[in-house]
Structure 1
Amino acid sequence: MADDRFSMGLFDARIKDQRHQVFKVLGMYFVLMTVAIWGLLSLFWGSTYQLESYFPSVKVYVYDFDSVATPNAVLGPAVVRYLQSTLSSPVHLGIIVRDPAGKTFDDVASEIVGEKAWGAVVINANATSNFEAAMAGTGGLLDGQWAPKGAISLVVAGARWYQVVLEYLLPYLGMYVETPVLEASHQASASFLSTATPATLGELTSAQQAALGTPFAYQEVDLRPILPGQWAGAAPLEAGLIYYIIFAFHIALFFFFSRLPLQGMTKKHGIKIRWIHVCLLRIVPVLFAYFILSLAYTLINKAFLLPTDGNGYASFGPQAGFMVLWMLDWIALASLGLAMEAMLTLLTLKFFPLFLITWILSNITSSFFPATLAPKIFRYGYMMPFWHCTTATKHIMWGTRNRLGLNFGVLLGWCGVSLVTICLFELMWRRIEERKERQESAKDVEGQGAHK
């Protein structure tokens, strides 16, 4: 015999209104998600759209020390002319020829580490003179060998933004200098051969023959490299931060459901917890949770042997660096999580997941690629938690530009804004509930009066 309790179908006339309500809600969410896909994913896609058209914003300094040191320099003028000619190409780097007077290589290195430019092409002072000395047999050799790569240095700071430096900047610079280096090499070799006698050529040493075959070449100088075994550091700079937001999302949900029994009890007894105590209940437990979880997150970095002393370039050692990284991770998680706590209060559980998507995508557009290679609208990323977390982490791990004061300041600013809005949103909902209660009480009084 069939159980009548399970006899109702989905299209039963008795649940017509409820069925319409279900499809109405599903339709509303379908529209919202479609808008979110077009709006939010377009934001992320747009941050890398036509990436190469923004290469002129990638400044590269050119220093010709060769022409200063040698009156009839061959290499320096050739490289400078060719690099300047690239500016007429549709896609080119932002080549800027700088006056080398009074400059040293250390000055150039400071400019690159200080992010005045993304890289530098340095034609060294002894480029042409070394070749001439080597062919004359009066010097120009390194440990008795010809070392042509000392002629030009392509100077970068790889850890600044390795996606840009290693995947785009260095390949482009290598392509740029290859042609003028080859032309200058042919010119230098031809100049020597035009005056050399057969006897002179027969007496060339192996070092001189090597110099004649390759007068000039270039080398890559990475001032802030990511050393072998340190590539796990890419995780906390990319996907790790997305996971961080997801952790904060789950913490917000966990604490939300953990408060429900308390809220049910107070409602049942017709009492209310003081507003300030509600705010404390919302804030103190999550800050403690962030403190513990950020320690676990930081320890993962140490477990995979990531440096915390800037590879020797930071002003602190590994022990102090670990504490700095832990505090950074704590404040970063708080800046991400407290914003979610605030929006959970404002949007309620029904629309809260939409903020999660928005929060993730608006942050990752500022950390996957620099705003330098995107339309100006994406410079909003300079105020986002992800950007400040990644730039601070790069300094702690690899010694890139030190912005720790700014990074901590902005992250704490996000925390402060979220703390204030949590309290204000709680106060707003309390006022709304009180207004509803007064309206219901007024209706009850009116109803009792009419009954009498």
Structure 2
Amino acid sequence: MQAEKGAVSEDGPAEKGPVSFFDPALGELRKRVYLEWARTVLILCLFVLCVLSLFWGSQFTTEEKLETLNVWVVDFDGKVDPYKTSDPFVGPIITDVAQKYTDSNGLHLGYHIKAASEFDYDPIAVRQAVYDEHAYAAIIVNPNATVLLRDAISTRNTTYDPTGAAQTIVISARDQNTYYSLHPARPEYPPDPNPSYLRPTLSPPMTCVPFYPAVAAPAVTIGLIYLIIIAFFTFPFLMPIHSQFMKADGHPPLNVPHWLIWRIVSNITAYFFLSFFYSLVSLAFEIPFSNPPAPDVIPAENANAYHRGSFVVFWMLNWVGMTALGFPCENMAMILGMPWSSLFLIFWVISNVATGFYPLDLAPGFYRWGYAWPLHRIVEALRTILFGTHSRIGLDFGVLFAWIAVSLAFYPVATFIMRWKMKRGL
């Protein structure tokens, strides 16, 4: 006579088959899994908050320390033969403008007025000093600055170029980031009556949407690499917790469809909290998130696209972005296993960085696939949220959701491959 299900036989209790997620037989296991999952995610969140702060913090005082970028202003005007003159005026005006920058309260470089005699009246010696890294840059007022201007006025020379009055020396290869910091260092002119034809010497280029503050750089560049890495490493941290449901260790195993649903939902929830703590790093370092938007063609600093709601949109973008970046990593980790999945992480980081951080207009046509890569859409949307650039945020979110949909469709296949390999000891 066939024994009833769960009845005691000569071999002991009958083993119960796979059950649903909320089956009472899994009650104790669910509580343990919930606790372990919450503890693991909390540890990861705190780790993200603490460790990423090291990177964001390196950019936090950039504006305050702009004065440490010393720029020499050396006036050779009328001091070198055959252009010696007793009444030069171009050089004194330029040095006066530099001094007013230094005395002003706004952002400015560390301008230092140097006498031509310190360089033996040789402009080449100034170039050598910049090359030898005694200064980050130098503005040299040419010996013939006043002479050429007077000749242009007397002969009515309409082709006269005022930028020829001086030369700017900088070694951009010394540090390209510092080089770009030399340009927007002074957002507005100090009050002065100086002629407008001399302003090109010291004035910054006009920009409608400036990149400011510098601490925002990690949020739209290198910091996003950690978004990929964090998403990748949720798999090895959480998979041992998930696997407890499939072991018949004093309880029946969970059926596979419910196991897949649990893993997907718990992972998306983990990304929700991880992306929040990731976003908090930017908020903690005072990246503006509550400024009102500005007209498209009017210069404005930090014109956040969504005013006081910008941080929420920022967080949601990081959440969706982390999910779009994370599920492909988990799929490949299940298919390839360790250590081969690390190779996919390298590919995933490099392919996203190559197409996300640099303008694809300058890249070979081969890289046009980058427009569909997750990080390119994340960077574009982040710049819209933080700086109010031209918005394609609907398309950006749409591409990210497409990545998530494709990844979830492939998720059962990747799980089947992983279980097939495990059963065969591969």
Which protein is bigger by CA-based radius of gyration?
A: 1
